[in-house]
Structures are given as structure tokens and as C-alpha cells.
Amino acid sequence: MISDPEALRAGRRWLSIAGRVRGDGGIVPVRFGFTASRRHARRAVDRNTAKRVLREAARRHVEELDAAAAGRAVDIVLRLKAAVPGRAALARGEWKQALRAEADALLAQLAQRLRGAEAGR
């Protein structure tokens, strides 16, 4: 497998993010994808909750990412990478807060890297 020099990747405890600048310049400057596999979230309600939280974070950051992309087209995928904790280990509300915080941090980090890549052009 060959590493992609255009890819922007990062991860935290619960989530990972991958971003790629598209060469076509596309009509939609920033596109998002969200994944939550059955391997990490057995119950459909957990998978849907995770994707809902990720969509909410994306909506909050879309303008910032669009400005950071500076006319370039970017694809971003947010992925649940760790198993959903049992109810005894972590309350549902705390888990959702942790997901929100990680998604916000990863999207802000991606925006910063996009701005840095633009400055280096």
C-alpha cells in the first residue's frame, strides 16, 4: 500500500478522521462521510447516536473548513474506531460529550492543517 501525500489523518480515543484534497475542485467544496461499524457499536441505536453526533459536529465546523480549504475541494471521513463502552463503564451522556469533544478537536485540527497547507502553497 502506498501512502497518500495529500491525505490528512488524525485520531483520538474514540474517533479517527481522514481528509483528502480532491483535484477536481468539485461543486461542493467540503464533503463529509461518517462510519460507525457494527464491530464497534453492536446496537443500531449506538451506531445512529454516534453518526448523529458526528453530523452535528460537521455542521458546526463546515464554514470554518470551507474557509480553510480556500477554494479547494476536500473529502472528510469521520470514523468510530473504538467500541462503545458498556453502561456500567460510562454513562450514555458522558460518551456523547466525549464524542462531541473529540469530533470538534479533530475537525479544528484538520482546519488548521488545511490553512497551513494553503500558506505553504
* The three three-digit cell numbers of residue 93, written as one number: 451522556
Which residues lie below 8 Å from residue 39, measured CB to CB, with a gap of 6+? 83
Residues 81-106 have pLDDT tens digits of 999 888 888 899 999 999 999 999 99
Q: Are strands 7-11 and 30-35 parallel, antiparallel or unpaired?
A: unpaired
Average pLDDT over residues 18-30: 81
Q: What is the DSSP string of 95-119?
A: HHHHHHHHHHHHHHHHHHHHHHHHH
pTM beyond 0.85: yes
Q: Are strands 73-80 and 7-11 parallel, antiparallel or unpaired?
A: unpaired
Which of these, 32, 55, 54, 37, lies nearest to 99 by C-alpha position? 54
Residue 105's pLDDT is 95
